[in-house]
C-alpha cells in the first residue's frame, strides 16, 4: 500500500463528524441506517413479548417506561446520523458498535422490569456513554469553528447523555420498583429537555426538516407496525385454527393496516414546519404513536387467544382500544406540526376533530367489551372512517396524491 493510499484510507476512517449546519438537503437514508434500524426489531420484539404476557395496569406501565427508553436510544442514534453522520469508515464503525450494544440490550429487555433490570441498566448506560462521547466530539468541533449558535445545544446534549449514563447506571443497584420509577423519571426528563431545547436554544434542536428526516421516522413506524404482524402470527400459532379464530386474527391484522394507511397517507410523507417548537412537537409526538402501535401488537395475542369468548377480556379490550385512542390523539399533535397544516387548513382542521372523535369512540368500544372479532372490526371501522374522511377532504381541496 502506497503512502498516498494509506493516507486516503486513514482519512476515510478518521474524518471528523459533519459539523452543525452542514445539512445535506437531498440526503437519502443509507443502507447502514436501514441495517441499524433492524436491530430495534429485536429490542422492541422483546418489550412487546413482555407486555403480551402481562396485560395489567402494571404491565402496561412497565412496557411504557421500557419502550420510552428504547425510543430515546433510537432518537439519539438516528439524529446523530442525520446531523453528523458520513458515508465513511468512522461512521460505519460507530454504528456497528452501537448495534452490538443494542443486541445485548435486547437480551435483557423482556425481563427489564424485573430480574433482567440490572443487566438492561448496565447495557443501556454503555449505549448512552457512546452517545456522550460522540456528542462531545461534535461540541469540541463547534467550539473550534466558533459555531456559537450550536455550542449551547451540543453542550446541553453532552450533559444530558452524561447524566443519563450516571442515572441509569446507578439504577442497577436498586430493586425493581424503585428502578422502574427512576427510569420513568429519566424518560420524562428527556421529553422535557427536548421541549426546553426547542424553545430556549437559538438553534432549536439543530434540525432542518428534510426528506431523509421524515423517512427515518417513517421507517421506525414501519418497524413497530411489524410488531402487529408478529402479534397476529404468535396468536394464531398457539390458538385453534378454526374459522372464528382466523377471522379474528385477520381483523386484528387489519388494525395494523389501518394504522399504516392513516399514518403514511395523512402525516408520514409530509415535512414538518421549519419552526423549532413545531419540529420538537413533531419529533416527540412519534413516541406515543409508535408506543401505541407496539402495544396493539402485544394485545393481538390475547385477542386471538380469546376468539371464542362472548366478550373480550377487560385488560385486552382496554389495551387495544386505548392503543387506538392514544395513537389517534398523538396524530393530532403530529399533523399540527406539518407544513401542510397551514397550507391545507381546510383539510387538517376538521381532521383534528375527526381524530379526537375517533379516539373517544374507541374508548367507548373498549369499555363495552364486545366479542373479540367484533372489537377488532369496530376498531378497524374507526380507523377506516377517519381515513375516508381525510381523503374526501383532500379530494375537495384538490390536494390528494403525492405530498
Task: Give the pLDDT confidence of 144-170 residue by residue, as tens digits.
Answer: 766 666 667 777 788 888 899 999 999
Report d(CA 395, CA 262) in Å as an integer: 16
Angle (nearest 5°) at CA 27 between 344 and 191: 65
Predicted model pTM: 0.92
- 139-147 — which CB contacts under 8 Å span 24+ positions? 141/16, 141/17, 141/19, 142/19, 142/20, 145/19, 147/19, 147/20, 147/21
> Of 248-252, 358-362, 393-397, where does mean pLDDT reach its minimum?
393-397
Question: What pLDDT, on a 0 to 100 scale, did the predictor assign at position 403?
Answer: 47
Task: Give the pLDDT confidence of 189-222 residue by residue, as tens digits.
Answer: 988 887 777 666 555 566 677 888 889 999 999 9
Report d(CA 288, CA 67) in Å as an integer: 10
> Of 79-93, 113-127, 147-161, where does mean pLDDT reach its minimum?
147-161
Q: Which residues, in sequence order, are CB contacts of 98 under 8 Å at separation 6+?
A: 36, 77, 127, 130
Report d(CA 245, CA 242) in Å as an integer: 6
Percentage, residues of the chain above pLDDT 70: 89
Compute the average pLDDT of residues 128-149: 79
Task: Give the pLDDT confidence of 233-285 residue by residue, as tens digits.
Answer: 999 998 888 999 999 999 999 999 999 999 999 998 898 988 888 888 899 99
More confident residue, 204 or 358: 358
Closest CA to 335 of 400, 378, 281, 376: 281
Amino acid at each position: 500500500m502506497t503512502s498516498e493510499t494509506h493516507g486516503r484510507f486513514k482519512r476515510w476512517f478518521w474524518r471528523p463528524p459533519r459539523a452543525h449546519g452542514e445539512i445535506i438537503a437531498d440526503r437519502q437514508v443509507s443502507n447502514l441506517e436501514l441495517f441499524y434500524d433492524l436491530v430495534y426489531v429485536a429490542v422492541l420484539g422483546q418489550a412487546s413479548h413482555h407486555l403480551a404476557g402481562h396485560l395489567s395496569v402494571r404491565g402496561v406501565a412497565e412496557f411504557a417506561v421500557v419502550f420510552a427508553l428504547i425510543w430515546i436510544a433510537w432518537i439519539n442514534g438516528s439524529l446523530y446520523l442525520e446531523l453528523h453522520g458520513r458515508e465513511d469508515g468512522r461512521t460505519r464503525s460507530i454504528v456497528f458498535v452501537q448495534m452490538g450494544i443494542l443486541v445485548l440490550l435486547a437480551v435483557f429487555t423482556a425481563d427489564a422490569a424485573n430480574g433482567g433490570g440490572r443487566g438492561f441498566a448496565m447495557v443501556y448506560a454503555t449505549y448512552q456513554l457512546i452517545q456522550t462521547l460522540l456528542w462531545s466530539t461534535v461540541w469540541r468541533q463547534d467550539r473550534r469553528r466558533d459555531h456559537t449558535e450550536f455550542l449551547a445545544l451540543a453542550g446541553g446534549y453532552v450533559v444530558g447523555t452524561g447524566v443519563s449514563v450516571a442515572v441509569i447506571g446507578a439504577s442497577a443497584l436498586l430493586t425493581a420498583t424503585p428502578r422502574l420509577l427512576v427510569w420513568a423519571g429519566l424518560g420524562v426528563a428527556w421529553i422535557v429537555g427536548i421541549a426546553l431545547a426547542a424553545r430556549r436554544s437559538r438553534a432549536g434542536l439543530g434540525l432542518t426538516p428534510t426528506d431523509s428526516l421524515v423517512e427515518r421516522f417513517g421507517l421506525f413506524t414501519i418497524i413497530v407496525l411489524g410488531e402487529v404482524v408478529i402479534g397476529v402470527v404468535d396468536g394464531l400459532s398457539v390458538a385453534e385454527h378454526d374459522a372464528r379464530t382466523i377471522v379474528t386474527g385477520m381483523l386484528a391484522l387489519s388494525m395494523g393496516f389501518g394504522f399504516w394507511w392513516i399514518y403514511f397517507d395523512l402525516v408520514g410523507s409530509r415535512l414538518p414546519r421549519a419552526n423549532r417548537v413545531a419540529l420538537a412537537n413533531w419529533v416527540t409526538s412519534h413516541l406515543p404513536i409508535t408506543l401505541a402501535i407496539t402495544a396493539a401488537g402485544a394485545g393481538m395475542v390475547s385477542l386471538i387467544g380469546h376468539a371464542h369468548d362472548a366478550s373480550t377480556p377487560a385488560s385486552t379490550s382496554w389495551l387495544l382500544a386505548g392503543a387506538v385512542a392514544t395513537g389517534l390523539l398523538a396524530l393530532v399533535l403530529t399533523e399540527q406540526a406539518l407544513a401542510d397544516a397551514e397550507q391545507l387548513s381546510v383539510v387538517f382542521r376538521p381532521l383534528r376533530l375527526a381524530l379526537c372523535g375517533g379516539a373517544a369512540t374507541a374508548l367507548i368500544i373498549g369499555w363495552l367489551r364486545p366479542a373479540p372479532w367484533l372489537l377488532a372490526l369496530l376498531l378497524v371501522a374507526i380507523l377506516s372512517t377517519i381515513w375516508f374522511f381525510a381523503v374526501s377532504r383532500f379530494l375537495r381541496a384538490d390536494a390528494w396524491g403525492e405530498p
